[in-house]
Amino acid sequence: MRFQRAFLLLLATTTGAAATNCGGPYEKRQGEYYAGPVDPVNFPPEYLGSGGNRLRAGSGIFVASGAWANGRRTEYFAFPFTPSQLALPDNLLVLDDGQPNQSTTVPTLVVYVFDPGDQSPFPQAPRCEVPPNYIYDRQRDAIRYNEQWNVFTALPSATYTPGIAATTTYVPVVSQVPVRSNGEPCQDTKSEKTLKKRTDVILPTQGGPDGRFLAWAIIDAGAGVYHRFGAPSTPGDARTGNPPGGVELQKFGWFNHYLLAYLDGGYIPTQTGMATNPSRTVVRMVTQDIYYPRSLVIHSGSLGTAPGALSRGYDLLQFRRGEPGYSPVCRVLTYDTGDARVPADLPHSVDEMSALYGDTIAPPDQPAAPAAAIPLFMYCLQLE
């Protein structure tokens, strides 16, 4: 893998760290070393960001889509279901008879999650061993030595063929293996191989995933990540103000000594039930609904008056992150107001929309061209 200068320059811009200072005085130069950011050359286009170029790391950006939930502004980062996931007999199935199955379940990556909590995958305080008298220094440290980042076991990949759209089976769903800190130095674990050899961490007795799933989208580590609302506006608007250089909203982890970045949509609720064969149990992801108007919307700017569409700021989500019912997996539905409306006159909650237009709710129309089809499901990650 190539060392990504774009990300180091981004770090230098936003933290003051010199590009040649990978880890500061706390970083080992051998053993569990830091090899630099992951090369996104094989990442699917959706995970490079808008304007991204897989041959030029850090060229893309991720900007959240605005939405309303229960009368309050919120935002989400959207990622599609892949054609292969949509082709599954049940495209929400994650375990079949207690196991992943290549032909029937959604493909998931295994991730070692340090000290997961009941609701959040990160503890309130570091449980790894922090260096004596350590204080994070933006000018000195490219990584934080008062945290332990999670360890991933695989990366997104896509097949690129000239003249043909890239194809991938990658989805932003990870299967959690909980790791309990037991005196290990912070950031001293940067690979699965090292983790399995450690005696100062506690792994599950069975050694594998615990049946919990998270929506963690691995993205180009050099891409900036931004809120939908760049500056405070009306009272009640959420997620306002953007970090310099777009380095704050993403989280970071390790893959085989390399640093990676991801967007954390939180835990995915699941439901256990019976398969068609009553002797087998299955586990399915539970979704929440997202709505947009299929009727005309009077947009400002070049869009003019056009049918409503996803990700234009007036989507309706059932739940905000932290509310009961939240899921980072969404079923897409539409409604019809009957006449053209400006965005300000559209509903601001699912309850309001249902009361006014509940009898018009329907799935999106599917265009004849498969490439242009509107998704019936999508990943809709709300960050912490």
By the 8 A CB rule, do 138 and 126 touch? no
Rounded CA-CA distance 132/262 in Å is: 29
pLDDT at 74: 94
pLDDT at 366: 74
Pairing status of strand 173-181 against strand 201-202? antiparallel
pTM for this one? Answer: 0.88
pLDDT at 85: 94
By the 8 A CB rule, do 275 and 282 touch? yes
Cα torsion angle, 30, 207, 85, 213, sign: negative
Token pair, residue 22, equals 């990978």
pLDDT at 207: 75
By the 8 A CB rule, do 78 and 311 touch? yes
Rounded CA-CA distance 83/106 in Å is: 11
The number of beta carbons lying within 10 Å of the beta carbon of residue 63 is 18
pLDDT at 248: 86
By the 8 A CB rule, do 186 and 148 touch? yes
Could you list the pLDDT tens digit for every one of the 384 residues in the chain?
Answer: 333 333 443 443 333 333 333 555 555 555 688 999 999 999 999 999 999 999 999 999 999 999 999 999 999 999 999 999 999 999 999 999 889 998 999 999 999 999 997 666 666 677 899 999 999 998 888 889 999 999 999 999 999 999 999 999 999 999 999 999 999 999 999 999 999 999 999 999 887 899 999 999 999 999 999 998 654 344 444 444 566 678 889 999 999 999 999 999 999 999 998 766 667 889 999 999 999 999 999 998 888 999 999 999 999 999 999 999 999 999 999 999 999 999 999 999 999 999 999 999 999 987 666 555 677 999 999 998
- Using CB atoms within 10 Å of the CB of residue 375, give its burial: 0 to 12 exposed, 13 to 18 middle, 19+ buried: middle
| DSSP characters over 205-266 | TT-S--S-EEEEEEE-TTSEEE-SB-S--STT--SBS--GGG-SSSEEEEETTEEEEEEEEE
Provide the residue ranges of all domains of the chain, joining segments of one domain with +: 5-64+93-271
Which of 78, 44, 95, 83 lies closest to 332 in space, CA to CA? 78
- Using CB atoms within 10 Å of the CB of residue 53, give its burial: 0 to 12 exposed, 13 to 18 middle, 19+ buried: middle
Which residues, in sequence order, are CB contacts of 45 under 8 Å at separation 6+? 52, 54, 158, 166
